[in-house]
Amino acid sequence: MGESDLSRADFVGLEPRRINLAIGVIALLCLLGIGIAVDLTGVFVLSRVDPDYQSFCAVSEGMNCETVALSRYSTVAGVPIAIWGIAGYSFVLILSILSLIKRIRLPGPGLLVVMGVLMVGVGFYLIYVMHFLIKSFCILCIALDVINVAILTLAIIAARARHGSCIKSVLLDIAAVFKRPVLVVVIAILGFGSLGAAYTLGPKYLASKGIQTGGQSLEFVKSGTVFAPSDKGKATDPQTCGRDGAAIKAPLTGLTDDGHHWIGGEDPRVEIHEFTDYECPHCRKAHMMVRKLVASDRHIRVYHRHLPLDMACNPAIQKPFHARACELSKVAVCAGQQGRFWEMNDFLFQKSDDIRAKNWTADDIAQRLELDLDKFRCCMDDPGSGAIIDSDIAEANGLGLKGTPAFVINGQIYYGKVPDEALKHVRD
């Protein structure tokens, strides 16, 4: 045996180690991916049911896991993408383990390359969605994208070490699997079983947290909101029930002399001016929070102020952002002319996903609350109906408000939520 033969033998002896090492690292990366996907599922749930929740990755408007989690793109078939991710990483983890068990001898590298390509493809599509549609990135999602690229890279290394060519390895490994019908059945069961578990158990998990399969929170009803439109859009009785079944008197509502709607106590110790945008996902969380405040303490009053981040009516916005925010503010104003402002206010936040996904028109929204459609259309067509919106925008810009939701309390500006120190006059 010549020197070249010895070198070749030594190289071949190292190939199984290289393959096993690469597949072993893939398995570890899958475990890491499952952990991050579980954390992302928590962000999805908490951002909907806990108005005080703030994720560590809510860094800015353009880098915010909560913004991504609250978008309509965060679910597929009524199941959070994070839960689909758990299923996918679990399947690849099992394939990796089976590939490392000598008795089974699953031709894994080629199959792992196929899965890696699928995972990277999905990751790039989600990056596109975050950049162009949501206009905000999720740090945890990007971490999963990095994991996907690493899995694909290691799978390619293992495939090339096995057959010298990645494409050849994929074709040979797939052919080898189909030569063993038992493996085909096992892989099919594992694959469809993972997806089926996500599809069936995902909605059940969300329901246990008070979230409908469409991703809409039920916390509005649970927290004693004043108006909770049903699925058909009709307002329920404003008198809700507590946990012991006792009736809870709804907070008072009213209108100031200058046309601002308020909700809360008759003789408030703290007055909160809430500047909000009906297309802002963080405003939906703030909506839940202020409803809890006014439902739990009769010494708090909240004034609704319009601040649509939409260039159609807000001169401070110089490029398309929340494209229908001005229109939706006017929808609320026109509902208010028929004495239904707070019902519409709640409806616009509760059904924001449907309004965007199904492209409901102003008339569609008005019909769901059974407004007088002729009066509503007349109001929407009247340029003077938007005067209160223009006034609020001018005041907000004069105060230098940089985003929504913004709360002005005793001259102090707070973003995101009402801090405890702002309520000290109530709790002292």
Which has the higher per-residue pLDDT, 121 or 173?
121
User: What pLDDT is recorded for position 241?
Assistant: 44
pTM, to two decimals: 0.70
Query: Hey, what are 46's tokens?
Result: 């908490």
Structural domain tally of the chain? 2
* Token couple for 12: 């071949």
What are the pLDDT digits (tens) for 293-316?
Answer: 888 888 899 999 999 999 999 999
Q: Which residue has the tokens 């038992």?
A: 182
Q: Residue type for 79, please?
A: V
**Are 257 and 326 members of one domain?**
yes
**Domain match, 260 and 382 both:** yes
Task: Please tell me whether residues 27 and 131 are part of one structural domain.
Answer: yes
What does pLDDT average to over the chain? 85
In the structure, what pLDDT confidence band is assigned to residue 212 with cuts at 50, 70 and 90?
Answer: low
In terms of domains, do 200 and 223 share one?
Answer: no
Does the pLDDT of residue 216 top 60, yes or no?
Answer: no
Residue 357 resides in a domain: yes
Q: Do residues 261 and 253 touch, judged by C-beta distance below 8 A?
A: yes
Strand residue runs (E) in 261-390: 261-264, 270-276, 300-306
Residue 185 lies inside a defined structural domain of this protein: yes
Query: Residues 53-76: pLDDT tens digits?
Result: 778 887 877 888 988 988 888 999
Domain shared by 194 and 228, yes or no: no
pLDDT confidence of residue 213: 54
Per-residue pLDDT of 372-421, as tens digits, reads 999 999 999 999 999 999 999 999 999 999 889 999 999 999 988 888 88
Q: In a 3-state reduction of DSSP, which class is residue 412?
A: strand
Is residue 264 located within the same domain as residue 168? no
In a domain, 228, yes or no: yes
Domain identity same for 37 and 112: yes
- Among 16-25, 124-133, 210-219, the range scoring the smallest mean pLDDT is 210-219
What per-residue confidence (pLDDT) applies to 134?
Answer: 85
214 located within any domain: no
Whether 2 shows a pLDDT value over 90: the answer reads: no
Q: Identify the CATH number of the domain in which residue 50 sits.
A: 1.20.1440.130
Same domain, 287 and 335: yes
Does residue 6 have a pLDDT over 60?
no
Judge if 197 and 268 occupy the same domain.
Answer: no
Greatest mean pLDDT range, 99-108, 277-286, 301-310: 301-310
Residue 346 CB neighbour total at 10 angstroms: 20
Q: Is residue 305 part of a domain?
A: yes
Give the pLDDT confidence score for residue 51 in this predicted structure.
66
Q: Which of 176, 208, 240 is the last residue of a domain?
A: 208
pLDDT of residue 237: 38
Burial class from Cβ neighbours inside 10 Å (0-12, 13-18, 19+) for residue 249 reads exposed
pLDDT tier at 228 (50, 70, 90 boundaries)?
very low
10 and 106 belong to one structural domain: yes
CATH number at residue 414: 3.40.30.10
Domain boundary among 208, 242, 264: 208
Are residues 141 and 243 both part of a single domain?
Answer: no
**Domain end (from 157, 178, 208):** 208
User: Does one domain contain both 260 and 386?
Assistant: yes
Listed residue (358, 332, 352) closest to 343, CA to CA: 332
| Residue 65 maps to a domain | yes
For 321-346, the pLDDT digits (tens) are: 888 999 999 999 999 999 999 999 99
In terms of residue numbers, what domain contains 185?
3-208
